[in-house]
Amino acid sequence: MDEGGSDAWWLCRSVRHQSHFEQKPSRTRTMRASPARTALLFLLIHGGFRASAAKKLGSSSSGRFANATLVRLSEFLSSGYKKGVRPVKDWRTSTIVAIDLMVYSILNVDEKNQVLTTYVWYRQSWTDEFLVWNPEDFDEVKQVSLPTANVWVPDILINEFVDVGKSPDIPYVYVTHDGLVRNYKPIQVVTACTLNIYNFPFDVQKCSLTFQSWLHTIDDINITLMRSPEMLRDDKSVFMNQGEWELLHILSKYKIFSVDNDDYYAEMKFHVVIRRRPLFYTVNLLLPSIFLMVMDVVGFYLPPDSGERVSFKITLLLGYSVFLIIVSDTLPATAIGTPLIGVYFVVCMALLVISLTETVLIVRLVHKQDLQPPVPHWVKYLVLERAPVLFCIHKKHRLCSRLSSQASDLEHYKENNYGTAQCSLHHTCEMGQRLGQQERDVGMLGLRPALSRDSSPPVMDNILQEVTAIRGFLEKRDRCREVAKEWLQVGYVLDVLLFRVYLVAMVAYSITLGTLWSVWQVA
């Protein structure tokens, strides 16, 4: 009989035993009291059976886990365990925490705020001397997963944390029979990083992740690597290699430091070295700028005395300004430095302005040469005599081909249009000389040249005056043409000189930038 049934039996027996020793009442009184006793006896028996049934149900419920090895092992490990105490039997023993880091992805590099966001797989392990068991006592179970909240966990943090990342919560740790606790979890790390954008878009960034115990000194917690530094350095097995950034290396460095020269702490610093893939920025930033600068160089082959060169240069300058406005959002913006590509764009803009200024100067020299004063002698010496020799401009007639054609046209015009006038002028001069001789002869004889005056009509005097005026005009125009020819020669020589200087400056600047970017890319 179970315990509940025995309790009811003893209650019934005690009630009967008590009624046996009482005095016998009257028959009427006994008949009235018997229903009350019967009801009380029924309630006691019913309560005893319910208690017995509840106890049987509880015994069967606990029997479900009676043979569960993991439950027995969990109860064995948690019995008397203190998760707030460092798990060592001798307090002088330091807990060695082995850590490991695997970079999974580079999520974001914020140059403006100097913040790096990465997604890493973080692993740490240590020995818990209180979580030890004999596998033979628990069906050869050598490892078990326990809730993280129920075991001691070292307070190892990352010093560079600036924001809470969206990391998944892993609520369990693995524990082996010899007390080794393994805590593996992914972490979204948002850390501060000093980003050097001077070499953009061929930059290589080096950001550090420093792991250390926030409270415990090296006497309590020491840190070591789970793998060798060589294996850690070249491990890219889990890295997602399809983004803008490429993982180069993960360098590690162990260090012991002290804040107040009293307590010493252990830290493990990981240097994550990443490199930007420059193809996108090369295609969208450098190539359009190079094309515009090449078109500016080609624009020098337009004739300087035509107005098309100025309008062409102005169009290029406006186009480059619009291009810079479009790409301004693509360039990284920081308050501590300017990328070299930004300097490159500014220099290209300055070269375009210099090119436009040179074009305006040359057009001013070769336009309306008739209104120009004569070329100074020092300009003739420096530009027309010394400069062609120094800068290897040997064939000057090529620079003035249009001027030579203009000079030949002038000679042809002279021969066809006023050659007859020259002959008439020569004939008129001869007639004038003859008339003057006759006047002198008559004057010597004391005669009045009335007949001679009458013989020279006034029409010839008018013709003489007109021809003289025409001759003076043509001589003046010839002098103006000579001045125009000299200014045109000066303009062409200066145009060639400035073009060569401009081309040399552009090529030297491009070679310098290309060399620097190539060295940075290889390094």
In this structure, are residues 133 and 111 in contact, taking their beta carbons and an 8 Å threshold? Answer: no
Instruction: Point out which residues pair with 254 in neighbouring strands.
Output: 268
Model pLDDT, residue 248: 93
Please say which residue of 276, 305, 320 terminates a domain.
276
CATH for 132: 2.70.170.10
Q: Which of 348-352, 407-411, 512-516 has the lowest mean pLDDT?
A: 407-411
Same domain, 349 and 231: no
Say if 444 falls within a structural domain: no
Say if 256 falls within a structural domain: yes
Of 151, 143, 150, 147, nearest in space to 176 by CA: 143
Res. 517: pLDDT tops 80: no
Same domain, 511 and 366: yes
Same domain, 91 and 203: yes
Say if 297 falls within a structural domain: yes
Could you give the CA distance from residue 4 to residue 61 in angstroms, rounded to a whole number? 18
Q: What are the pLDDT digits (tens) for 362-377?
A: 888 777 655 667 777 7
Residue with the bigger pLDDT between 195 and 517: it is: 195
Other CB atoms within 10 Å distance of the CB of residue 207: 22
Say if 485 falls within a structural domain: yes
| Three-state SS annotation for 124-153 | EEEECCCCCCCHHHHCCCCEEEEEHHHCCC
- DSSP letter for 381, please: I
Say if 10 falls within a structural domain: no
Percent of the chain's residues with pLDDT above 90: 36
Same domain, 315 and 233: no
Query: What's the structural domain count of the chain?
Result: 2
Say if 43 falls within a structural domain: no
Same domain, 191 and 335: no
Same domain, 74 and 99: yes
The range of the structural domain enclosing residue 372 comes to: 278-395+466-522
Same domain, 284 and 271: no
Residue written as token pair 């307070």: 155
Please say which residue of 251, 276, 301 terminates a domain.
276
pTM score above 0.85: no
Same domain, 258 and 308: no
Q: Are strands 264-276 and 156-158 parallel, antiparallel or unpaired?
A: unpaired
Say if 419 falls within a structural domain: no
116 band by pLDDT with thresholds 50, 70 and 90: very high
264 band by pLDDT with thresholds 50, 70 and 90: very high
> Mean pLDDT score of the chain, rounded to an integer?
77
Same domain, 205 and 321: no
Residue with the bigger pLDDT between 176 and 411: it is: 176
Q: Indicate left, alpha or beta for 113 from its phi (over 0: left) and psi (-120 to 50: alpha).
A: alpha
For the segment 189-193, the average pLDDT, to the nearest whole number, is 93
Same domain, 240 and 121: yes
E strand intervals along 235-327: 245-258, 264-276
Same domain, 348 and 250: no
Model pLDDT, residue 523: 59
My answer on whether omega of the bond before 201 falls inside 30° of 0, hence cis, is: yes
Say if 117 falls within a structural domain: yes
C-alpha pair distances (Å), 38 with each of 16, 41, 175, 219: 11, 5, 62, 76
Q: What are the pLDDT digits (tens) for 437-473?
A: 544 444 444 444 444 444 556 888 788 888 888 888 8
Please say which residue of 276, 308, 333 terminates a domain.
276
Same domain, 285 and 272: no
